[in-house]
Structure 1
Amino acid sequence: MKFIPAMAAISSILCATPFASADSLHTHWEKFKAHRAFHHLSADGQRAFQDILKARDILQTTGKTEAAIPALYDAQKRLAAAEKADKKFQAAENDLHPVPQHPVIANHQPVVGQTDWLPVGGEFILSETLAPEKKAAIVSANAQLKSGNTDQAAETMKVVGADADFIMALAPVTPVQGAVYRATVFTEGHNPQEAVAALNQALNSVVFVSESTIETLAPAAPAPAKK
């Protein structure tokens, strides 16, 4: 399956927020922009999408199903953990407003009715009205985030201050879990093409919204503990 530009944008944003260093970034971020978005992000959701991307890339480039299975199992476990945590939000998809920088892709399948959404990634966005030095700072900060240099990114963004906009990637929990489960079954059955199609459905379900949208969403009720 062709890796289209829209999917490349999804991959870029979902990988832009470093997972292991998120707590470090929280401290620095709050110093200069206390109300901003990083505290919304789901660490388990982020890692799950890293696993999804990893499994999809293995299957797509090599077709080696055995190599992709560990990432799929990890994705399932991390999605289950994210579902139990307090980072998800409940909303109907038609109440979300995708940002113009990243509209939903052509084969996106909307979710009908109220559902739980996980914030699984984000990035700073450029505005043409920003001064050149602030544009350069945002470009540098996004590159630093992607490479995991969170302390440097926080320092870099001090130049931008309150002028920075942040967009977030939201993933619908139930459809993503279903897609990953199907991908796992196909992978265990040595059917990499169908597994890739299922994983692309998970990735295609992501909706990119402004940070302010998150503030308007109702926190979802925690999933009941399994006995």
Structure 2
Amino acid sequence: MASYYSTRYTPDPGRTKVWRAIINYLEKYIGTSCEVVIDIGCGYGDFINNVNAQKRYAIDLNPDAAGYLIDSVEFRSTQVTDLSCIADASVDIAFSSNLLEHLSDDELTLAASEFQRILRPNGLFITMQPNFYYAYREYFDDFTHKKIFSHESLADFFRSSDFELVAMEKRFLPFSLKSRLPKTYFLTRIYLSSFYRPFAKQMLGVFRKKSTTPLISKDAS
């Protein structure tokens, strides 16, 4: 894990400016403030440190991620397949960025079950992912990628896990923040408001937990 952070996922001060613009864009789904938000695979905390919520949780396998979070964010170091530190039906918005492609099929099944469990009825799962349909050349430049997702397969995965598709943007952001685009708040706002998004190879998926989905408690035998 430490070697991954030192090679593929290094800190970048410009990332915060970009993320503030991304969060502003996502307010159409999450509002300007909500009750409980969780960032699953929080990394350097770019999303969870900047989103407005009464309660903010951050989850990451790397315990060092805690050092990048502001004091009001509650951090837990755990696997995405075991979110037992989060109560049943207690989260309004679950968010992940560049996470699901790092999981095996078995891990994805367990993770989806945990997403269902922690979300309230009609809660949202919002995810940003590289879209293999557009990023096939560089998709496996990251040696930790295990699973291929396109905009079609991502939507099908969540539907099969009892979520409803709210929105899918096939071209959302460039494949990496290491792209040639300048890292500024205003340019990112303009980019996301544009019909034409050059170099966009990441997708945005927004999914709603079905209100009729039976709750499976972690304590159930």
Whose radius of gyration is greater, 1 or 2?
Answer: 1
TM-score, structure 2 normalization: 0.29
Which is richer in helix?
Answer: 1
